[in-house]
Amino acid sequence: MSASHARSVRVRLAERSYAIELGVGSLGGLGEAVRARLGATRALILSVPPVGRRYGAAVTRSLRAAGFRVKRFEVPDGERSKNLRQAERLYGEMLEAGADRGSSVVIALGGGVVGDLGGFVAATLFRGLPVVQVPTSLLSMVDSSVGGKTGVNVAQGKNLVGAFHQPSLVWIDAATLRTLPPRQLRSGMAEVVKHAAIWDARLFSRLERQLEPLLALDPDVLVPILERNCRIKASVVSRDEREGGFRMLLNYGHTLGHAVESLKGYRGVLHGEAVSMGMVYAAALSERLGKAPEGTRERLEALLRRVGLPTKLPSFERRAYLRALSVDKKKRDSRIRFVALRGIGEAETVPLLPREILPAGALTRQC
């Protein structure tokens, strides 16, 4: 691994503080890093086939070389594995494999699905085993692996069952992004753009300047941008571990994004694609509400288009959207804490009724 690309970000949460270690080609260093931080001697690696096939052997080798006994576990790829049935199966397999309270650590090797499911299993098995997150998708590197939210889906909705369980370490090898399908890479970019839009105008300008090398995964551009994103997520999480007002800003673009995902039945649209549409709409609404200066939406939309993300909400009836907004779990009384931009790089929450978020005619105007 090139030492010049090694970066470290601290997530400050008192006794639950941990490091995010970034590198390029750094998977081989994972074993030593885990051993240096934890007393564990048994590593339980969870993955999905597309990731396990590519990186499972390197991670296993690294952990074995550091003295761990290693067992690998797999669930089928995709969101459909993030459920209690898979969790229960994993409890059984892990117990059979000798998992124990004092000496086991769960290694979640994969995207957000593996991170959320592996984190949930770690949070609940023996009332809590340490977990190390090894995110391999862009979304999981900049978003889901940091912050300690873990969970599974149930029939009534996504992520409704879960636990806060901070990882002991987040180990990011940016080289793994080279095998991530391009559409997944673009989708993850939506969260990168989101961080810049709500928090960091300089990062936003940098994305505008360096988008091509970033999408080409040039490490000199990629690693500092990953680091900046991890710092933003880490600082938001440190201020507000349990999702009070502040962490809500991370929901920018997600109110309508979630509505789009649910109206589409979670098929044919990736999370970041839906968030991209939701962010552009939210920027337009921010302008209409007089919160953001004119031109904010245009600038955001231009960048998202260059990424290759969709920016227009799909045409479902307004009624359907209103219904989807009202079941959003972030609903407070009947108002939704909608995240509006004050401009590029700054956001606030505004309590709005669903019909204020989607005034008549808004869908044809795209706000």
Ligand X SMILES: NC(=O)c1ccc[n+]([C@@H]2O[C@H](COP(=O)([O-])OP(=O)(O)OC[C@H]3O[C@@H](n4cnc5c(N)ncnc54)[C@H](O)[C@@H]3O)[C@@H](O)[C@H]2O)c1
- Candidates 118, 147, 253, 354; binder of ligand X (CB under 6 A) is 147
Residue 140 touching ligand X (CB under 6 A):
yes
Question: Strand, coil or helix: what is 251?
Answer: helix
Give the CA radius of gyration of the chain: 20
Residue linked to tokens 């204020």: 356
Residue 82 touching ligand X (CB under 6 A):
yes
Residue 50 touching ligand X (CB under 6 A):
yes
Which residue in the list 254, 261, 297, 301 is annotated as catalytic? 254
Please, what is the minimum distance in Å from the beta carbon of residue 139 to ligand X? 4
- Please give the Cα distance from 20 to 33 (Å, whole number): 11
Which residue in the list 7, 149, 186, 291 is annotated as catalytic? 149
Question: Residues 6 or more apart from 147 whose CB is under 8 A from it?
Answer: 166, 233, 237
Please, what is the minimum distance in Å from the beta carbon of residue 39 to ligand X? 26
Residue 25 touching ligand X (CB under 6 A):
no
- Candidates 21, 143, 227, 301; binder of ligand X (CB under 6 A) is 143
Please, what is the minimum distance in Å from the beta carbon of residue 81 to ligand X? 8
Q: Are 105 and 129 in contact (CB under 8 A)?
A: yes
Beta bridge partners of 151: 162
* Closest by CA position to 338, among listed 324, 322, 350, 355: 350
Draw the binding track, 170-199, toward ligand X (x: CB under 6 A; -: no contact): ------x--xx---x---------------
- Candidates 26, 86, 104, 144; binder of ligand X (CB under 6 A) is 144
Query: Known catalytic residue: 89?
Result: no
Please, what is the minimum distance in Å from the beta carbon of residue 364 to ligand X? 31
Instruction: Give kind and range of the element (H or E) at residue 356.
Output: helix 354-357
Q: Are 176 and 27 in contact (CB under 8 A)?
A: yes
Query: Known catalytic residue: 243?
Result: yes
Q: Are 37 and 169 in contact (CB under 8 A)?
A: yes
What is the full DSSP assignment across 62-73? HHHHTT-EEEEE
Q: Output the CA–CA distances (angstroms, integers) from residue 102 to 38, 46, 73, 267, in the order listed.
A: 10, 19, 20, 41
Residue number with the shortest CB distance to ligand X? 112
Which residues sit at the interface with ligand X, rule CB under 6 A? 48, 50-51, 54, 77-79, 82, 110-114, 116, 136-137, 139-140, 143-144, 147, 149, 158-159, 176, 179-180, 184, 271
Catalytic residues, by residue number, are 127, 149, 191, 233, 243, 247, 251, 254, 258, 271
